[in-house]
Amino acid sequence: MHDILGGSNPTARAVTGVVANAALSGQLPFAKPNGANLPVSNGVPSNSNNNGILNNNNVPLLVGLGGTTSNILHNNGNNLLNGLPVANGGQLPSGSSLQMLMFGTMTVMDNELTEGHELGSGLLGKAQGFYVASAVDGTSQTMAFTAMFESGGYKDSISFFGVHRTAASESHLGVMGGTGKYVNARGYAVVKTYTGGSGNSQQPHQFTDGLETVMECTVYLSY
Amino acid sequence: MHDILGGSNPTARAVTGVVANAALSGQLPFAKPNGANLPVSNGVPSNSNNNGILNNNNVPLLVGLGGTTSNILHNNGNNLLNGLPVANGGQLPSGSSLQMLMFGTMTVMDNELTEGHELGSGLLGKAQGFYVASAVDGTSQTMAFTAMFESGGYKDSISFFGVHRTAASESHLGVMGGTGKYVNARGYAVVKTYTGGSGNSQQPHQFTDGLETVMECTVYLSY
């Protein structure tokens, strides 16, 4: 699946936590109360170098299926949160770290499922659901989502629940259930993530101006 | 189940996203930071025509199990968000639409399960859980909830997870598990929604002043 934060066609949106806060207010966390993570209409991106498509107002930094620090560095090469340096912790609450700030952030996703790693490769369907940053140190996401397959009009689906450990080479998610041809399915998925997106050369083909994470899922079922 | 947003006896409440934001602030999204979707105690509803029971401050517009646009039009015949016209997009961020604004909104529910479509028909139990607007275009909700049956003191329950596609005639949800007589249950539910609520004549009997969506569930189990 292709998890795209920010950009002109995002497929995932942080809805709770510090990141949603920062994305709306354009300030450091705790400076203002929480808000939905929407593009800011009247904000002038001050740190964007690509005409404002991907900027520090509409990219939820720190989150994403690919992990934490990599995404920050990914965005502009510095530990910036909405344009302000935070690595020194000068403006962070005492005892906080970037990873701890993430803890609890919930992100809703409507990600494309494709056959290959490329966003443009054969569309299989959608993965809809959400993930929650569930490790205090920011290294895992509790995921709950349904993979729905386009073939047959989205009647066939498999739902997963489990913890994706972003720092590990792979994680396993349990199958919660299924519909259509996968009704009563049991099993698990092995998931691996590859961080792509703007300015990154790990993935050869990028079709988005957002911050893309590719999650490769290999599913083992009995039904 | 009966999903009732707003009114004097709501059974569902938006807790994240723009809608919760707008419902508290009584303004367009982005005007104020986010907050819980609580009835506004000191706000005078300026657009209510039914003595303030159902008004634009306490009805979470845009959301609901019945879909998006229909609910908006349903409320007062216009594309209004807290009393301000939004259809022209004049104050919305460029590229946004009402459906895109909804993406990510999480709504918690404590819905009554009844035998028939009428809210007053035989009470079977409750459906408690939540749903998240999980399509970028606003046409689906990822649902996670437990149907608990009153008979026997709520010991019997079935939990469901899946994507409800509001634009489709029916959707299938997978069974996650069960308790009591449904322990180890497997299977799926076929769900269909019927939008009722104030001012609508689709449903013959309305017992609420809120925005009601009836979800009909037909469950197929093996256990």
CB-based contact (8 Å) between A34 and chain B? yes
Residues of B196-215 as b/e, b for ≥16 C-beta within 10 angstroms?
bbbeeeebeebebbbbbbbb
Residues 6+ apart with CB under 8 A from A205: A118, A119, A120
Contact: A148, B133; criterion CB under 8 Å: no
Cβ contacts of B133 on chain A, cutoff 8 Å: 108
- C-alpha–C-alpha distance, residues B83 and B91, integer Å: 13
Q: Which of A8, A41, A42, A107 to mutate to test the interface with B (most CBs of B within 10 A)?
A: A41
Please give the DSSP secondary-structure letter assigned to residue A167: T
Minimal CA separation from A146 to chain B, in Å: 6
Question: In sequence order, what E strands does chain B have?
Answer: 2-5, 12-14, 80-81, 84-85, 106-114, 123-133, 140-149, 156-165, 171-179, 186-195, 211-222
Q: Which of B96, B105, B162 sits opposite A146 (nearest CB)?
A: B162
Q: Give how far Cα A207 sits from Cα of A7, A109, A118, A176, B146, Å.
A: 11, 18, 8, 32, 39
Q: What is the pLDDT along chain A (223 residues), one digit of tens a residue?
A: 999 888 888 899 888 876 555 544 443 433 344 444 444 444 433 343 444 344 434 444 445 777 643 333 333 334 334 333 333 334 455 556 666 778 888 999 999 999 988 888 889 999 999 999 999 888 899 999 999 999 988 999 999 999 999 889 999 999 999 999 999 999 999 999 987 644 444 444 456 777 888 999 999 999 7
| Global pTM value | 0.73
Cβ contacts of B30 on chain A, cutoff 8 Å: 24, 35, 38, 40-42
Q: Which of B91, B135, B188 sits opposite A128 (nearest CB)?
A: B135
ipTM > 0.85 (yes/no): no
Q: Which of A9, A32, A55, A110 to mutate to test the interface with B (most CBs of B within 10 A)?
A: A110
